[in-house]
Chain A
Amino acid sequence: MDAEPVAQAVAAPATALDLAAAEDRVLVAAFLAGSQDAFQVIVTRHQRAVYQVCYRFVRNHEDASDLAQDVFLRAFKGLKNFKGDSALSTWLYRVGVNCCLNRIAARRPDTEPLLESRHVDPRSDDPFRALARSEKATEVKRAIAQLPPRQRATLLLRVYQELSHEEIAGILGGSVGAAKANFFHALSNLKRLLQS
């Protein structure tokens, strides 16, 4: 984060209306200057994405909402350490992935609901095809849950959050090459798990 915009944001406290439209870096600066409203805007802006990341790891609403709350609480305590060398969303993903990996490490085996499946509309053009796709999707999600944690994190961030390999390397630590290799092994293992 540039020092100048931060200083400007701190020097001129923003109104609630300004905050809602402010860029993330301005919100962070305002929060660090003592604005609780700025943090509230950060939560409102990023809650859905953070929740989705958490949900993809734990695959149930209760744990995902608990984890997402934990992410924002950690963010509240740790935003002073946010250097601004990445997007705030990437930094929040990093906090979220760490929370999720800790949860996964603490809870084995994975607690994925056994009967989780997509709703199949019988009025659809081809309900049999829809059912087959639904079953395949359930298998894929189960297979993802069996991947080693870092491969799983890499896969979820790349495929569903559409982050670049550089961003993933920044979140998980390590080189871009290692992030790509992780992604390759995640896909290969997934293929093997689905064939077995």
Chain B
Amino acid sequence: MTTHLSPQESVTALDDVLPESRQAHLKSCASCQTEVDGLRAMMVDLGDAEDVPEPSPLFWDHFQSRVQAAVQGEMVRPARVSWWSIVASVRGAVAAVAAVAAAATVAAVTIAVALYPGAPVAPVAPMEDAQVAVADDAMALETAEWAFVSGMLDSFEPNDVREVLAPSTLAVDNAFASLTSGEREVFAKLLSADLAQGME
């Protein structure tokens, strides 16, 4: 005895394209015949129910005008700003701010070191613990300048700190491009002084 027709085979039988091997079963199996006959009767009922009223002859012209208007409206509508472009621009802004903050931090540290050569220097901490280590060590500092620097670092998120410690080239370029000519002059002087000190 062969197996009964599967749902797919019953539909294939309905379409009159059942393979011969399965047709033999269908002819000999009352259960499968009843199933397929039932489907066939349902198809007749569905055919009788076919009824989409034809709209008014004027409808199609009106419809085309509506589509045309909708399309025109779509063409003049400004492009929608996608969320990922917002995220990208925010990330860019954060990177730029972080790079500027990095430059400011370097400048502040350079000034503080120049003014207070005897001040203790915080040990270098691993990058993932940088925020905590910098904050903890800064608490031990006594001068207002070091407190200012530590306070600024304390407000950074871990990602900001990573960007400060290892800013991307693009972020540094963007930050430098956003400086005014006066700020660039000051920055160049500070950088030159810092480099000269490092050479000594």
A interface residues with partner B (beta carbon < 8 Å): 36, 39-40, 43-44, 47-48, 51-52, 55-56, 61, 65, 68-69, 72-73, 76-77, 118, 133, 136-138, 140-141, 144, 155, 159-160, 165, 177, 180-181, 183-185, 187-188, 190-191, 194
Rounded to whole angstroms, the CA-CA distance of A138 and B11 in the bound complex is 25
Residues A180 and B45 in contact, CB atoms below 8 Å apart: no
Residues B59 and A65 in contact, CB atoms below 8 Å apart: yes
Interface residue? B46 (CB, 8 A):
yes
Can you offer 7 A-B residue contacts whose CB atoms are under 8 A? A43-B67, A51-B55, A68-B63, A140-B46, A180-B12, A191-B38, A191-B39
B156-193 toward A: CB 8 Å interface, digit per residue (1/0)?
00000000000000000000000000000000000000
Rounded to whole angstroms, the CA-CA distance of A136 and B10 in the bound complex is 25
Rounded to whole angstroms, the CA-CA distance of A190 and B39 in the bound complex is 10
The count of residues in chain B whose C-beta lies closer than 8 Å to any C-beta of chain A is 29
Residues A159 and B43 in contact, CB atoms below 8 Å apart: yes
* Those 10 A-B pairs whose CB atoms lie nearest each other, nearest first: A184-B7, A140-B49, A137-B49, A180-B8, A180-B11, A72-B67, A181-B7, A187-B42, A73-B70, A52-B52
Q: Which residue of B lies closest to A156 (CB)?
A: B46
Give the chain A neighbours of B43 by CB distance below 8 A. Answer: 159, 187
Residues B48 and A76 in contact, CB atoms below 8 Å apart: no
Distance in angstroms from B127 CB to nearest chain A CB is 44
Give the chain A neighbours of B52 by CB distance below 8 A. Answer: 52, 55-56
Residues B12 and A136 in contact, CB atoms below 8 Å apart: no
Q: Which residue of B lies closest to A175 (CB)?
A: B8
Rounded to whole angstroms, the CA-CA distance of A137 and B49 in the bound complex is 4
Give the chain A neighbours of B8 by CB distance below 8 A. Answer: 177, 180-181, 184
Residues A136 and B48 in contact, CB atoms below 8 Å apart: yes
A51-B55, A136-B48 provided; 11 other pairs, C-beta below 8 A? A40-B64, A65-B55, A72-B67, A159-B43, A180-B8, A180-B11, A184-B39, A187-B39, A187-B43, A191-B39, A191-B42
Distance in angstroms from B103 CB to nearest chain A CB is 44
CB < 8 Å neighbour of B64 from A43, A144, A155, A160 = A43
Interface residue? B53 (CB, 8 A):
yes
Give the chain B neighbours of A72 by CB distance below 8 A. Answer: 67, 70-71
Distance in angstroms from B44 CB to nearest chain A CB is 10
Give the chain A neighbours of B123 by CB distance below 8 A. Answer: none
